Amino acid sequence: MEFNFIVPSQVIFGLGWIPCLPAKVKELKAKRPLVATSSGMLQRYFAVTILSYLESSNIGYETYNRISPEPSTADVENCYQFAAGANCDIIIGLGGGSVMDVAKKVAMDLGIPKIMVPTTAGTGSEVTHESVLKVGGTKKALVDIRLTPDIAIIDPWLVMSLPQRLAASSGIDALAHAAESLESKKSNPLVKALAAKAYTLIVDNLTRSVFGDSNARCNMSLGALMAGMAFGNSGTTLAHALSYPLSNRGIPHGEAVAVVLPYALEFNGYSSSITNEIKRIIKKVNLDLKVEGDIYEMAKMVMQDKRHLSCNPREVAFGDVVDIYKRVLGRD
C-alpha cells in the first residue's frame, strides 16, 4: 500500500497558544506580515489582542479586511495587489474558510510563507492544500501542494465567542468532512483513522458546542482539525457536490452542506441509524432549512463536478441526483 499525505510543516493546537504567533512569524524569517481577514473581524476582542502580540514583538504589520463570505477570484486579486503594494513578506489568514482560502492563494501567488489561524471550528482550510473560490459566479476548487500553509495555529479560545448559527454551520461542515473522508475512494488508513476520531468528536460535541459549552468547543476545534487533515488528503464526495449549486444561489456553505448531507450519505449506503442521528443533530442546531431551486439545472451542475464525484464510493447518474434533490426539496 502506498499513499501521499500532505499537511503543514507545523500544526499547533491548544487553548492559549495564540501568543506564539509572533515567534512563528520570526521563525519563517518574515518582517512585514499581512493579516488577511473579513469585514468586522478587526473589531473583535481576540483580533485586537492578536495584533497587540505582533506590536509588542516589534513586528510591523498591515491588515486587509475586505474578503467576502463567499470569495471570488476578484477577492484574491484585490488582496494580492494590497499585499504586493505594501511589500508584505508573509500572509496570516485570520478567519474562517473563506478568509483562509483567499489568504492561501494570495501567498502562493506571491511566493511567500503563510500562517493560518482559524476562527471557526469547521472548514479545516488551515491544513489543506486547496482553495475554494467563485469563478464567474460558480464555486471552483483549486488543488495545489503550494497552497499548503507553512504553519497552522488552532487555538480554541478563538471560537469561544462564535455565534450559534456559525458554530452550527461550520460544525456540520466538519462533520461532513469526516463522514465523506471515511467513504472516499481516495481515502487511506491514515485518513480513515483521523476521520473516524473526528466523526466521534464532532457527533459527541456539536450540539453542546452550538449552545456555548466551552469544553465542547475545544473538542470541536480538535475534531474540525482532524477532519481537515483527513479530507485534505482524500477529497470530499457527493454531499459537497450537491451543496455547491445551493451555495451558488447564496446559501452559506455549511448550511448548504447541512441541507444535503443525510441524503448523500443514505445514497452511499450509510446506515439509517447514522443518517437519522445526523438528521437529529441538524434539527437540534436549527439547520433543517427549506430550500428552493431548479432541480434539473442543479443536477446538471452536480454532474459536471468530476472532482467530488470521482471520490464518491458509488457511481452517480443524473437521475440519482434529480431524485436526491426531489427529496431535499420535499418534492418526492
Buried b (16+ CB within 10 A) or exposed e, 76-87: bebbbebbeebe
pLDDT at residue 330, rounded to an integer: 83
- Identify whether the C-beta of residue 203 lies closer than 8 Å to the C-beta of residue 274: no
pLDDT band at 244, cuts 50/70/90?
very high
Nearest CA to 113 out of 145, 72, 147, 75 is that of: 147
Q: How many helices (H) and strands (E) does the chain have?
A: 13, 8
**Entry pTM:** 0.95
Report d(CA 168, CA 141) in Å as an integer.
Answer: 23
Tens digit of pLDDT for each residue in 49-63?
Answer: 999 999 999 999 999
- Identify whether the C-beta of residue 51 lies closer than 8 Å to the C-beta of residue 35: yes
Report d(CA 30, CA 88) in Å as an integer.
Answer: 9
pLDDT at residue 331, rounded to an integer: 53
Q: Which residue has the cell 426531489?
A: 326
215, burial (CB in 10 Å: exposed 0-12, middle 13-18, buried 19+): exposed
**Main-chain phi, psi angles of 196, to 5 degrees:** -65, -45
Q: What is residue 250's DSSP assignment?
A: T
Tens digit of pLDDT for each residue in 273-298?
Answer: 999 999 999 999 999 888 888 999 99
Report d(CA 149, CA 126) in Å as an integer.
Answer: 7
- Identify whether the C-beta of residue 37 lies closer than 8 Å to the C-beta of residue 95: yes
**Main-chain phi, psi angles of 17, to 5 degrees:** -95, -5
Q: Look over the chain and give the mean of its residue pLDDT values, rounded to a whole number.
A: 95
What letter represents residue 214's amino acid? S
pLDDT at residue 332, rounded to an integer: 46
pLDDT mean over 138-145: 91
Domains annotated for the chain, with CATH where assigned, are 10-159 (3.40.50.1970), 164-328 (1.20.1090.10)
Torsion of CA 181, 185, 188, 189, to 10 degrees: 70
Tens digit of pLDDT for each residue in 256-275?
Answer: 999 999 999 999 999 999 99
Tens digit of pLDDT for each residue in 64-76?
Answer: 999 998 899 999 9
Q: Which residues, 6 or more positions from 315, have their beta carbon under 8 angstroms from its beta carbon?
A: none
Tens digit of pLDDT for each residue in 178-217?
Answer: 999 999 999 999 999 999 999 999 999 999 999 999 999 9
68, burial (CB in 10 Å: exposed 0-12, middle 13-18, buried 19+): middle
